[in-house]
Amino acid sequence: MSENKHKGKYYERFDAYSRFLHILVITSFISLAITGMIIKFSGIGIFQTLSDMLGGYEITGFIHRVAAVVTFLYFFLHIFYLTKKIRGRRTPFTSILKGENSLVFNKNDLTEFVQTMKWFVGKGPRPQYGRWTYWEKFDYWAVFWGVAVIGSSGLILWFPEFFTMLGMPGWFINIATIVHSDEALLAVGFIFTYHFFNTHFRPDKFPMDTVIFTGKVHIEELKEDRPRQYNLIMQDEELQKNFGDAPSPFLEKVSKIFGFTALSLGVLLIILIIYSMVFLYQ
């Protein structure tokens, strides 16, 4: 298809700021996952080899802490982004708690979940998804949970003297170690299976969906995937200003290279974790 046939047929789902934050999420999470699993499974040969490749456990720990700083950075940058959007639109805080643009769960998400299960087994039509699906909302709030639980426990392990000086009992450091390690393992398993499947490995998206990198989705794809959002866009001239040309071939190429690299590292890490768990419980 010639390039001019693509003009004006792409809708911008994610602005440049959101795409930048997601790149920070990807790079920091994969860095944390790899270095964290190397530390967690330090008794397994393959992870010892990976540590040697990174320069030893001291360097591995340093990379882990740098990635943790990036995690806190994108978290607060996102909070700043939300605050700025609310103030810019001069709308009340409740505007992010309900409505089509809200990432907060509502009754419709439960309805769509049931409809999706029926659709999977051929007992009903595909749900009329809107701007955010229930699994995207789940992914979104999982980040908040991860920063709160894994991040806070990680800070305690990073600065144990400081927290014990504040009155934290020594045994709580041991609890923080267990929480940080096991919650991190859960997060890695969740992202590299559940999130990867819903976002990239579904038959209609395989081998990957580049929209989070390019920011743009073809109007026909949007109409098929999110008919409720499509209908709202076609009724709102302000939203229609987000229509534009196709992403540049260079951006598409870079997005695929970066995306496939991240996917490959995630899948490989899951395989290594499964291998390590089997090895430990033999």
* pLDDT tens by residue, 26-72: 999 999 999 999 999 998 999 999 999 999 999 999 999 999 999 99
CA 125 to mean position of chain CA atoms:
28
Determine the Cα–Cα distance for residues 279 and 210; give it in Å rounded to an integer.
36
Contact 186, 153 (CB under 8 A): no
Contact predicate 74/21, CB 8 Å: yes
Of 24, 17, 18, nearest to 70 by C-alpha is 24
| Nearest alpha carbon to residue 132 among 143, 124, 141 | 141
This prediction's pTM: 0.89
What does pLDDT average to over the chain? 90
Are residues 269 and 223 in contact, defined by beta-carbon separation less than 8 angstroms?
no
Confidence of residue 6 (pLDDT cuts 50, 70, 90): very low
Across 59-205, where does the E strand assignment appear?
Answer: none
**Separation between Cα atoms, residue 207 and residue 215, nearest integer Å:** 18
Cβ atoms of 26 and 262 within 8 Å: the answer is: yes
In the predicted structure, residue 2 carries a pLDDT above the cut 90: no
Whose CA is closest to 142, among 110, 186, 99, 106? Answer: 186
Q: What share of the chain is helix, strand, coil (3-state, %, to 5)?
A: 75, 5, 25
Q: Do you find a cis peptide bond into 207, omega within 30 degrees of 0?
A: yes
Distance CA 213, CA 247 (A): 10
Q: What total of structural domains would you count in the chain?
A: 1
Compare 281 and 165 and report the one with higher pLDDT. Answer: 165
- CA-closest candidate to residue 188, choices 115, 128, 272, 114: 272
Q: What is the CATH number of the domain that holds 140?
A: 1.20.950.20
Task: Give residue 23's domain range.
Answer: 3-280
pLDDT (tens digit, 9 = 90+) per residue, 233-270? 999 888 899 999 999 999 999 999 999 999 999 999 99
